[in-house]
Structure 1
Amino acid sequence: MSRDVYEYAVIRVVPRIERGEQINAGVLLYCQPRGYLCARVELDAVRLRALDPDADAESVRRALGAYELACGEQAGPLTGEPLGGRFRWLTAPRSTIVQTGPVHAGLTADPGAELTRLFDVLVRL
């Protein structure tokens, strides 16, 4: 079975930028040879409130959901952009509550299964 290069980034929530504390809340995975771009997100509201009792969990959920939407057919302002361009735009550094970490690479025969594996290892407790 052939394996292809993929890139991924952890989607994190940094409720108080000045403190630098973060919660891993998703994974964004791009596999150019297979035409695959997908994000999977899940917010742990209890952990969010432990870092910032005043955080608006619903607003954070909406921001996280934008990553999933940007990967789909109805990508909003990214509609028509190649998947690689979307991935680069989504992983560009930003100083917002929801942001991505650095991009990492690996090899996979099944990008969907790899996304699930990374999500389970990096996001779920």
Structure 2
Amino acid sequence: MQNKYTFEYAIIRIVPKVEREEFFNVGVILFSKRKKFLGIKFHINPDKLKAFSQEVELNVFNDYLKAWELICDGEPQGGRIGQMELSDRFRWLTACRSTIIQSSKTHPGLSEDPESELENIFKTYVL
């Protein structure tokens, strides 16, 4: 237990028609303060997207999520938010929104390796 560190994660969702509140999971964002880790992993299934809405384009969502990835990585292209502390970036990305890309509430966990935990959660809730 001594080698395990706390982390928080949220599931990223696509909500094609916000007024209907229907969504499907497309990714995971995970933050571990002690391990100084902030990571994101996403994949949008084009068939699911078409089933939810014929009006929305896959490229638009991929571009938005790539911007989230730049923010996670602290890249200059991530803008002012990308230059914030890891915890602030995580809180900004997981803040409650009423847009077509949303995240779940955050959930806690313990892990020795946040990167492998990100992969496990992604396989469990997205793929």
CA distance in 1 between partners of 2:49 and 2:22 (Å): 10
Runs of 5+ consecutive residues of structure 2 not aligned to the other structure: none
- Kindly report structure 1 stretches of 4+ aligned residues shifted beyond 6 Å: none
Asked whether the equivalents of residues 7 and 30 of structure 2 are also in contact (C-alpha less than 8 Å), the reply is yes
What does the per-residue CA deviation read over 1:50-94, in whole Å, with 9 as the maximum and x for residues that have no partner? 011111111011112222111113132223311000000101111
CA 1:66–1:79 in structure 2 vs 1: closer, same or farther (change >3 Å)? closer
**Secondary structure at 2:63 match in 1:** helix
Residue in structure 1 matched with residue 60 of structure 2 by the alignment: 59
TM-score, with length taken from structure 2: 0.93
Who is 1:98 aligned against? Answer: 101
Pairwise CA RMSD of aligned residues? 1.0
**CA drift at 1:49:** 0.8
User: SS of the counterpart of 2:95?
Assistant: coil
AA aligned opposite 1:103: T
Structure 1, unmatched stretches of 5+, are none
- Give the drift of 1:37: 0.2
C-alpha contact 1:41 1:65 (8 A) present in aligned 2? no
1:18 is paired with a residue whose SS is: helix
Same amino acid, percent of matched pairs: 36
